[in-house]
Amino acid sequence: MILKSRDKPILALFEWIRVRLMTRFYTKREGIQKYAGKLCPSIQDRLEKLKVESKPFSATPTGSFLYEVGSQYKRHVVDLVKKTCSCRSWDLNGIPCKHAITAIYINIETPEDYTHPCYFKETYMEIYKEVLPPMPGQLEWAETG
C-alpha cells in the first residue's frame, strides 16, 4: 500500500498513511451500514457457494446434534454442538463446510447461525467504528522547544 509514498520524507509518509487510514475507515464504515445481511458480504457469498456444493450429500443423525454426512465415496462426522467436522475445514476457518451445511439443514436450522461471530456484520462495524480525527496542517502545529 505504501509503495507510492515510501520515498517521501518521514513526516510526509506518515501523513499519507494517516489520510489513507482515515479514508479507508470511513469507506468501510459507510459501506457496511448499507448492507442488510447478518454476515459480511464476501462471507455470505462464500456460504452460498458452499450451500450449492452441499446438495449431493446426505446426513444421517447418530445422536443429538451428531451426524454422519457423506456421498457414495466419502463420509464425515459433523458435531453441531462442538461446531466441528472431520474434514477440518469448519474447525480451521469458522465457516460451516459443505458437510456441516447438510447436517444443519437436516436439523432445520440456518448455516449463518453456525458461522463464527468474527464474520458478523456487527463485529465488522465494531472494528471500523473508530473515527480518526482530522488534523490541521503542519503550519498550524504548536511550536515546542
Q: Which residue has the cell 464474520?
A: 119
Cell numbers given for 4: 507510492
Q: Which residues contact 94 (CB under 8 A, 6 or more apart)?
A: 115, 116, 118, 119
* pTM > 0.95: no
Q: Do you know the residue count of the chain?
A: 145
| Res 143: pLDDT | 83
Please list the pLDDT of the chain residue by residue as tens digits (145 residues): 788 888 889 888 998 999 999 999 999 999 998 889 999 999 999 999 999 999 999 999 998 899 999 988 889 999 999 999 999 999 999 999 999 999 999 999 999 999 999 999 999 999 988 888 888 887 888 888 7
